[in-house]
Amino acid sequence: MHDGCTGTFENGKLVVDKIRMMGFNTMQMPMKVTIKCIECGNDFEMTHLETKCPHCNMVYGVTPCSASNPERIMAAGKDY
């Protein structure tokens, strides 16, 4: 069920599961965001709502409603 922009997520796995379920994981970010990977410490560009760190394969996700707020990007796990 879709709860619009009111949903909150406890962790990155829940974010990634939600955007995959809704088919949003392959959508491009409205603006590319450079983030620092929490696993390897390298900077990389998040280009899609679900993006893997190219250095260590940590998966990150963000919902479409939160895509303009880099603080809402969450890590789901390596190769998740």
Which tens digit of pLDDT belongs to each residue from 18-76?
A: 999 999 999 999 999 999 999 999 999 999 999 999 999 999 999 999 999 999 999 99
Provide the whole-model pTM: 0.91
**Distance in angstroms (rounded) separating the CA atoms of residues 9 and 12:** 7
**Distance in angstroms (rounded) separating the CA atoms of residues 14 and 7:** 11
Closest CA to 79 of 54, 56, 57: 57
pLDDT band at 8 (very low <50, low <70, confident <90, very high): confident
Yes or no: say if 58 and 52 are a contact pair by the CB < 8 Å rule. yes
What are 70's two structure tokens?
């880099």
Closest CA to 54 of 72, 30, 79, 26: 79
